[in-house]
Amino acid sequence: MFLTCLVLPLLSLATTATEHPSVKCIIINLEYVHCTWTAQSLPAYNYTFNSSLQDEPHTECPRYLQRHGYNIGCLVPLQSPEDRFGEFSTSLFYDVNSSVSLTHKLRMSVKLNPPYNLTLTLNGSSELWLHWEYNAPGRSRCIVSQVRYKKMPSEWQLSPNVTVTSFSLPEVSGDVEYTFQVRLSVHDLCGSSLFWSDWSEPASFKPKKRFPLGLLFVIFATTLLIALAILLCYCERIKVILLPAVPSPSKNLQDLFSRYDSNTESWAHISRDLKEAFETGNAEPRCVLCKAGDCCKPVSVQLGPP
């Protein structure tokens, strides 16, 4: 009795120590089998993996998935989409001669890649058409699509399954945003699948923003007022800078005249030669004076006594 109490826990300890992870497999996009044998932690062994389809000989994994250098999964390519109907046998080796073997039925474990290139076109005035593409091999009638759409801010609405790659939503409201996503699965007539693909990237239809006229007017009026105010201030400043208070020149001239007793020659210090030179050619126009309104006529300037 005492001995069994001691031995039983030891036995269970021994069995957990040699417990090996089970292999889980799924077919991705009808192109390859994706198998994994370690969920989170690192495996206790660096397992090697052999597999075979139907009655073909076992072959070692062509492409391991690794974490920190340890094998944790394997990708096995399929020769054709119909391979999923056969049995898939796997052996996980933890020793040269020791392995854990399993047989998988993967017919309904198919996960397709999500559709892509969603495009939206407004056809007519209120009918919205959604188109998408996918790259799953095999017959297109074996692929079903499901569309979900959201009329902001409502919840998602699910469409019925379709075997085409387009979907139309009639009577679309022009002021609301719509968002669409599509996912794929295998048609019931082709063996179906337990899995849907992930949802595609969303595609949105945004209504064209009509700019409110009232707001436009307010913005325009405000801008105009500000511009006018700036212009006004600027002109005032220019006026002050360009036209400072100028002292009247007439007083200074009168002072000069009185100081030199009206003798302009003596205060202007004009030399005698220069004076004569001017007197000889005094009939020619010496200078062109322009005055606003007076259309630039040549004017004779005479120096000295007339």
Ligand X SMILES: *[C@@H]1O[C@H](CO)[C@@H](O)[C@H](O)[C@H]1NC(C)=O
Residue ranges in contact with ligand X by CB under 6 A? 46, 48, 50, 58-60, 64, 69-71, 91, 96-97, 117, 123-124, 129, 133, 144, 160-161, 185-188, 192
Residue nearest to ligand X (CB): 58
* Shortest Cβ 175–ligand X spacing (Å): 21
57 or 247, CB closer to ligand X? 57
Distance CA 263, CA 64 (A): 117
Q: What is the nearest approach in angstroms of ligand X to the Cβ of residue 40?
A: 18
Question: Do 148 and 162 contact (CB within 8 A), yes or no?
Answer: no
User: How many Å separate Cα 7 from the centre of its chain?
Assistant: 65
Nearer to ligand X, 4 or 97 (CB): 97
Question: Which pair of tokens denotes residue 40?
Answer: 């989170």
Considering Cα of 269, then 275, then 281, then 283, what sign does the dihedral take? Answer: positive
| C-beta closer to ligand X: residue 95 or 155 | 95
Greatest CA separation for the chain: 156
* Cα distances (angstroms) measured from residue 267 to each of 253, 259, 290, 306: 12, 9, 27, 19
Q: How many helices (H) and strands (E) in the chain? A: 5, 18
Residue among 78 and 184 whose Cβ is closer to ligand X: 184
Please report how close the Cβ of residue 223 comes to ligand X at its closest, in angstroms: 42
Please, what is the minimum distance in Å from the beta carbon of residue 15 to ligand X? 21
Closer of 74 and 78 to ligand X (Cβ): 74
Our CB check for ligand X shows the closer of 122 and 270 to be: 122
At 121, the amino acid letter reads: T
- Which stretches within the chain are classed as H helix? 2-17, 213-242, 249-259, 264-268, 272-280
Instruction: Tokens for 267, please give them.
Output: 């205060």
Complex with ligand X: residue 78 or 128, whichever CB lies closer: 128
* Cβ at position 183, least distance to ligand X in Å: 10
Shortest reach from residue 32's CB to ligand X, in Å:
17
Alpha carbon distance 267, 258 (integer Å):
11
Q: What are phi and psi of 256, to 5 degrees?
A: -60, -45
Shortest Cβ distance from residue 177 to ligand X (Å)? 21
